[in-house]
Amino acid sequence: MSATEIPQPDLVLCLDKPYHWTSFDVVKKVRRVLKMKKVGHAGTLDPLATGLLIVCTGKKTKTIESLMADEKEYSGAISLGATTASYDLETELENHQDISGITETQIRQTVKQFLGTITQTPPIHSAVKVDGKRAYDEARKGNEVVLKSRQVFIKEFRITKIELPLVFFNIVCSKGTYIRTIANDFGKALHCGAHLHALRRERIGNYSVANAVTPEQFETQFSSK
């Protein structure tokens, strides 16, 4: 190796993605700090979600597919009484409905419908590709988007707190699960409409957000080396 060459690190990084950052924003930060191009992440988080984003560099990018296959754990809140086109707060609230008759018993009973293997359709505002184009790009242009349903596995779905219109939850699920779709379908099941109010990824396999650093902390750590 010549004196001008810099060894490329092979790393698996646990980063805590900030609110409003895209997953690619985090990847770009890592690329800039490490001055390397071979960087990828193991599973997209929506801009309005926070939490664990695993970023791999160098030869460790070969492990991305296996990491993406691991089960995921999320915490968050579903807001009852209104829907949105994106199933979260990215788009305007619509279809407002009265939720005064919704009881805690109904909410807890409804959870049972979402345990085990279920069928769900990804939101049209998602990164799923249709004919080579991202669904969210077509949706934002006002074009019709038809996505195929898929089967996913919900290992755990616990209600941790109810402060209507918000229902706080913890979910452990398989690869490919859209929590936004669960929120939307949860509202349908209760006949009152709902959308995802907040989402945080807590865990991917054995990697926990408790051991993650923010992009700023990552930059400070590596800049000091």
Q: Return the active site residues.
A: 46
CA-CA-CA-CA dihedral for 160, 97, 189, 165, to nearest 10? 0
**Closest C-alpha to 136, from 125, 149, 147:** 125
